[in-house]
Protein backbone atom coordinates (compact mmCIF):
# COMPACT_ATOMS: atom_id res chain seq x y z
CA UNK A 1 0.00 0.00 0.00
CA UNK A 2 1.09 3.57 -0.61
CA UNK A 3 2.55 5.59 2.26
CA UNK A 4 3.66 9.18 2.52
CA UNK A 5 6.31 9.67 5.18
CA UNK A 6 8.51 12.66 5.87
CA UNK A 7 11.98 11.25 6.51
CA UNK A 8 14.56 13.72 7.79
CA UNK A 9 12.50 16.57 6.34
CA UNK A 10 12.10 15.02 2.89
CA UNK A 11 8.71 13.82 1.68
CA UNK A 12 8.80 10.15 0.58
CA UNK A 13 6.00 8.38 -1.28
CA UNK A 14 6.50 4.63 -1.48
CA UNK A 15 4.52 1.50 -2.16
CA UNK A 16 5.25 -0.93 0.70
CA UNK A 17 4.01 -4.26 1.99
CA UNK A 18 2.01 -3.87 5.24
CA UNK A 19 4.47 -6.18 7.00
CA UNK A 20 7.50 -4.00 6.19
CA UNK A 21 9.01 -2.85 9.50
CA UNK A 22 10.06 0.77 9.83
CA UNK A 23 13.70 -0.22 10.49
CA UNK A 24 13.80 -2.13 7.18
CA UNK A 25 12.05 0.71 5.35
CA UNK A 26 14.60 3.24 6.57
CA UNK A 27 17.60 1.03 5.77
CA UNK A 28 16.53 -0.77 2.60
CA UNK A 29 14.05 1.59 0.92
CA UNK A 30 15.43 4.98 2.02
CA UNK A 31 19.06 3.77 2.12
CA UNK A 32 19.62 5.29 5.57
CA UNK A 33 21.96 2.81 7.25
CA UNK A 34 22.69 4.61 10.53
CA UNK A 35 19.66 2.92 12.11
CA UNK A 36 21.04 -0.43 13.27
CA UNK A 37 19.04 -3.57 13.91
CA UNK A 38 20.50 -5.29 16.97
CA UNK A 39 18.32 -7.68 18.95
CA UNK A 40 15.27 -7.38 16.64
CA UNK A 41 13.10 -8.02 19.73
CA UNK A 42 12.40 -4.48 21.09
CA UNK A 43 15.06 -4.84 23.77
CA UNK A 44 18.36 -3.27 22.72
CA UNK A 45 17.27 0.10 21.32
CA UNK A 46 19.88 0.22 18.51
CA UNK A 47 17.05 0.91 16.04
CA UNK A 48 15.69 3.93 17.96
CA UNK A 49 14.43 6.76 15.74
CA UNK A 50 12.00 9.62 16.30
CA UNK A 51 8.43 9.44 15.02
CA UNK A 52 6.75 12.84 15.32
CA UNK A 53 9.45 13.81 17.80
CA UNK A 54 9.14 10.76 20.08
CA UNK A 55 11.73 8.00 20.45
CA UNK A 56 10.49 4.60 19.24
CA UNK A 57 12.10 1.27 18.42
CA UNK A 58 11.75 1.01 14.66
CA UNK A 59 12.12 -2.80 14.60
CA UNK A 60 8.69 -2.96 16.25
CA UNK A 61 6.78 -0.35 14.23
CA UNK A 62 5.04 -1.04 10.94
CA UNK A 63 5.95 1.35 8.13
CA UNK A 64 2.25 1.65 7.24
CA UNK A 65 1.53 2.81 10.81
CA UNK A 66 3.79 5.84 10.21
CA UNK A 67 1.90 6.93 7.09
CA UNK A 68 1.58 10.71 7.38
CA UNK A 69 4.19 10.96 10.15
CA UNK A 70 7.58 12.66 10.33
CA UNK A 71 10.49 10.30 11.00
CA UNK A 72 13.95 11.47 12.04
CA UNK A 73 16.96 9.16 11.92
CA UNK A 74 20.49 9.86 13.12
CA UNK A 75 21.32 11.14 9.63
CA UNK A 76 18.67 13.86 10.03
CA UNK A 77 19.41 14.93 13.60
CA UNK A 78 21.96 17.61 12.71
CA UNK A 79 21.88 20.09 9.83
CA UNK A 80 25.40 19.06 8.72
CA UNK A 81 28.54 17.28 9.91
CA UNK A 82 29.99 20.72 10.69
CA UNK A 83 27.03 21.61 12.87
CA UNK A 84 26.34 18.55 15.03
CA UNK A 85 23.50 18.17 17.51
CA UNK A 86 24.57 18.90 21.12
CA UNK A 87 24.17 15.20 22.00
CA UNK A 88 26.44 14.17 19.11
CA UNK A 89 29.08 16.72 20.11
CA UNK A 90 28.93 15.55 23.72
CA UNK A 91 29.28 11.86 22.74
CA UNK A 92 32.50 12.78 20.90
CA UNK A 93 33.85 15.04 23.65
CA UNK A 94 33.07 12.59 26.47
CA UNK A 95 34.08 9.41 24.57
CA UNK A 96 30.49 8.15 24.75
CA UNK A 97 31.12 5.30 22.30
CA UNK A 98 33.40 2.34 21.89
CA UNK A 99 32.43 -0.06 19.07
CA UNK A 100 29.67 2.35 18.03
CA UNK A 101 26.93 -0.14 17.22
CA UNK A 102 24.51 1.10 19.89
CA UNK A 103 25.45 4.75 19.29
CA UNK A 104 22.78 5.75 16.71
CA UNK A 105 20.04 4.47 19.03
CA UNK A 106 21.70 5.91 22.13
CA UNK A 107 22.01 9.34 20.52
CA UNK A 108 18.40 9.33 19.30
CA UNK A 109 17.06 8.17 22.69
CA UNK A 110 19.25 10.74 24.48
CA UNK A 111 18.19 13.54 22.11
CA UNK A 112 14.52 12.82 22.91
CA UNK A 113 15.31 12.65 26.63
CA UNK A 114 17.13 16.01 26.60
CA UNK A 115 14.43 17.64 24.45
CA UNK A 116 11.77 16.49 26.95
CA UNK A 117 13.59 17.75 30.01
CA UNK A 118 17.08 19.27 29.83
CA UNK A 119 17.16 19.59 33.63
CA UNK A 120 18.28 15.96 34.05
CA UNK A 121 19.89 14.22 37.00
CA UNK A 122 22.25 11.28 36.53
CA UNK A 123 19.56 8.91 37.83
CA UNK A 124 17.07 10.31 35.31
CA UNK A 125 19.56 9.79 32.48
CA UNK A 126 20.13 6.18 33.51
CA UNK A 127 16.37 5.54 33.79
CA UNK A 128 15.74 7.40 30.53
CA UNK A 129 18.22 5.21 28.65
CA UNK A 130 16.84 1.99 30.12
CA UNK A 131 15.73 0.91 26.67
CA UNK A 132 19.21 1.10 25.13
CA UNK A 133 21.85 -1.55 25.70
CA UNK A 134 25.61 -1.11 25.13
CA UNK A 135 27.41 -4.42 24.75
CA UNK A 136 30.75 -2.68 25.35
CA UNK A 137 29.17 -1.63 28.67
CA UNK A 138 30.39 1.92 28.12
CA UNK A 139 27.56 3.38 30.16
CA UNK A 140 29.58 5.73 32.37
CA UNK A 141 30.81 7.84 29.46
CA UNK A 142 27.43 7.70 27.75
CA UNK A 143 25.73 9.06 30.88
CA UNK A 144 28.43 11.73 31.20
CA UNK A 145 27.87 12.73 27.57
CA UNK A 146 24.11 13.02 27.97
CA UNK A 147 24.50 15.11 31.13
CA UNK A 148 26.97 17.39 29.30
CA UNK A 149 24.55 17.78 26.38
CA UNK A 150 21.69 18.51 28.79
CA UNK A 151 23.77 21.20 30.52
CA UNK A 152 24.56 22.78 27.15
CA UNK A 153 20.92 22.75 26.02
CA UNK A 154 19.61 24.23 29.29
CA UNK A 155 22.36 26.88 29.53
* Interface residue list for another protein (CB under 8 A): 1, 17-19, 21, 24, 40-43, 45, 48, 54-57, 60-62, 64-65, 67, 109, 112-113, 128, 130-133
CB nearer another protein, residue 83 or residue 130: 130
| Shortest separation between residue 113's beta carbon and another protein, angstroms | 7
| Shortest separation between residue 40's beta carbon and another protein, angstroms | 5
CB nearer another protein, residue 67 or residue 122: 67
| Shortest separation between residue 77's beta carbon and another protein, angstroms | 16
DSSP the chain: -EEEEEETTEEEEEE--TT-BHHHIIIIIS----S--SSSSSSS-TTEEEETTEEEEGGGSBGGGGTT-EEE-GGGTSSBTTB--HHHHHHHHTT--SS-SSHHHHHHHHHHHHHH-SS--HHHHHHHTTT---TT--HHHHHHHHHHHHHHHH-
CB nearer another protein, residue 10 or residue 130: 130
Amino acid sequence: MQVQITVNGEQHTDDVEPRLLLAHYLRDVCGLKATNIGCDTTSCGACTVHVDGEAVKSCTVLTVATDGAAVTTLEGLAPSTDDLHPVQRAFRAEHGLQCGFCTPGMVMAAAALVANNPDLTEAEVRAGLEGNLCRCTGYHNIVRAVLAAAREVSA
